């Protein structure tokens, strides 16, 4: 057996059984070749020299070993869904069996999660890059919208801006150093000679006065004169060119509701502009009185305004819509001292000296250094609590309360008379009578309504003159 090759005849089960060709086709078995010589033909695989052949019973193999494909009742042990496949070497094409593995079950959950994460990471990266790019571009090329005409600086002359532009070059800030400390006030230029009008209490007890113009230039000023009764003063600067005097208006033409503009240096904030209206006229206001003897009390028949006025505005101009001075800011009304919520600044009650009165006093101060006061020549009982101004029983140092041959005496005023009206306007106190009288000039005629013995009478008086303080 070692040196011999034996080739056995081809087994009979390789041949196709009769009647099974069509069944084999249904099960995927190729048809026999045409020259196969029939079902029982056997082809030798190699020459059979010196090798005996052995017959194999054909019928036994068919009946016992190979059941006919497609006959399920003869092969109970083989499931019908799994057909028996025979290999036919003489078929038209070789039998090919492909292992396709398990039947696909669709997309799995982990695949969906992985795909979603990948997509999110990719989208986030792209979004972050675009955001950084946009931020860089916006930080380097930012341009906000702006309304057209922003470069137009023109303003109507009657507007607040127009009034301020006209008046500011003529308004000054005063820094005063005195024996009791230092303070700040405001003033405005009266003429080209350098006269500046301000309040008396601004320059009281002054040792050094510095005037600062709206341009920032500062010079030293000298006191020309002041009057505490009117709370007005005039100072003068020298060697200054290009002064801008303000135009003076007529305070008699001012009406309640007229728009006004105030300019000053509240709390040393120079060139501060505020606006409001005239809220009242002829408001009797007294200020000062720190000395205790009444010599420093100011009596003002004031213009009331709601334009904000604060400490440092004193002496500044109150301007009308034509930028004309109609008042000199002088005082404010704060909350009561007993009020825990009292404010130290403006609460909308500011008072200005009418410019007509200021003009007369300024002219006198420039001319003589002193101002005159109109008087009626009587001493008033300032403790009288009734309605009106009562003439005292005695004057100072025991003198008569009605000056002999004075304006009051010539008009028929007697001690104890109660003056209730001046030119038809009600008078409620002695301070109001003084204010009404000082609103006029010496020599002006007045009509006084006097209550004597329960009866009223009318008296004509011509105002006299007295030197102020």
Q: Which of 175, 195, 201, 373 is catalytic?
A: 201
Burial class (CB in 10 A: 0-12, 13-18, 19+), 152: exposed
- Report how far residue 321's alpha carbon sits from residue 441's, in angstroms, rounded to the nearest whole number: 27
- Report how far residue 64's alpha carbon sits from residue 51's, in angstroms, rounded to the nearest whole number: 28
Sign of CA dihedral 42, 46, 47, 48: negative
Instruction: Show the DSSP H helices in 37-81 as ranges.
Output: 58-60
The residue length of the chain stands at: 469
Q: Which two tokens stand for residue 107?
A: 């997309």
Q: Which two tokens stand for residue 139?
A: 């930080």
Q: Which of 24, 88, 227, 231 is catalytic?
A: 231
- Report how far residue 380's alpha carbon sits from residue 390's, in angstroms, rounded to the nearest whole number: 6
CA-based max dimension of the chain: 188
Within a 10 A sphere around the Cβ of 17, how many other Cβ atoms?
A: 19
Q: Which of 314, 330, 401, 429 is catalytic?
A: 314
Is 290 tagged catalytic? no
- Report how far residue 296's alpha carbon sits from residue 290's, in angstroms, rounded to the nearest whole number: 7
Is 465 tagged catalytic? no
Within a 10 A sphere around the Cβ of 56, how many other Cβ atoms?
A: 14
Is 200 tagged catalytic? no
Helix (H) / strand (E) element for 136: namely helix 109-140
What is the set of active-site residues?
A: 201, 231, 314
């Amino acid at each position: 057996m070692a040196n011999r090759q034996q080739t056995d005849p081809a087994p009979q089960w390789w041949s196709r059984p009769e009647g099974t060709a069509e069944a084999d086709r249904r099960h995927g078995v190729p048809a026999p070749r045409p020259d196969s010589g029939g079902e029982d033909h056997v082809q030798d695989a190699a020459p059979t020299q010196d090798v005996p052949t052995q017959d194999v019973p054909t019928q036994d193999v068919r009946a016992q070993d190979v059941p006919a494909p497609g006959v399920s009742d003869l092969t109970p042990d083989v499931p019908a869904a799994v057909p028996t496949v025979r290999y036919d070497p003489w078929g038209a094409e070789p039998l090919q069996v492909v292992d396709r593995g398990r039947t696909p079950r669709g997309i799995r959950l982990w695949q969906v999660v992985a795909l979603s994460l990948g997509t999110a990471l990719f989208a986030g990266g792209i979004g972050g890059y675009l955001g950084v790019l946009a931020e860089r571009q916006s930080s380097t090329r930012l341009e906000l919208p702006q309304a057209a005409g922003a470069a137009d600086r023109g303003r109507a002359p009657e507007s607040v801006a127009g009034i301020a532009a006209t008046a500011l070059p003529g308004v000054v800030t005063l820094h005063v150093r005195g024996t009791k400390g230092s303070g700040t006030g405001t003033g405005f230029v009266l003429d080209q000679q350098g006269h500046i009008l301000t309040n008396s209490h601004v320059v009281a007890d002054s040792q050094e006065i510095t005037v600062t113009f709206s341009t920032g230039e500062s010079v030293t000023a000298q006191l020309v004169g002041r009057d505490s009764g009117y709370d007005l003063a005039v100072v003068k600067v020298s060697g200054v060119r290009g002064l801008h005097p303000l135009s003076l208006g007529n305070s008699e033409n001012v009406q309640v509701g007229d728009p006004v503009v105030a300019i000053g240096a509240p709390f040393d904030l120079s060139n501060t502009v505020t606006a409001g209206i005239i809220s009242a006229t002829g408001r009797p206001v007294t200020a000062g009185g720190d000395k205790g003897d009444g010599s420093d009390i100011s009596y003002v028949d004031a213009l009331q305004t709601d334009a904000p006025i604060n400490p440092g505005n004193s002496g500044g101009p109150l301007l009308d819509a034509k930028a004309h001075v109609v008042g000199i800011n002088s005082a404010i009304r704060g909350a009561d001292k007993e009020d825990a919520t009292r404010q130290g600044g403006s609460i909308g009650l500011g008072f200005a000296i009418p410019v007509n009165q200021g003009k007369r006093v300024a002219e006198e101060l420039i001319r003589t250094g002193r101002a005159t006061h109109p008087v009626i020549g009587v001493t008033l009982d300032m403790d009288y609590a009734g309605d009106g101004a009562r003439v005292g029983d005695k004057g100072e140092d025991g003198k008569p309360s009605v000056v002999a041959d004075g304006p009051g005496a010539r008009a028929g005023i007697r001690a104890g008379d109660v003056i209730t009206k001046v030119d038809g306007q009600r008078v409620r106190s002695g301070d109001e009578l003084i204010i009404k009288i000082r609103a006029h000039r010496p020599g002006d005629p007045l009509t006084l309504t006097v209550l004597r013995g329960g009866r009223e009478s009318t008296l004509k008086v011509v105002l006299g003159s007295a030197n102020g303080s």
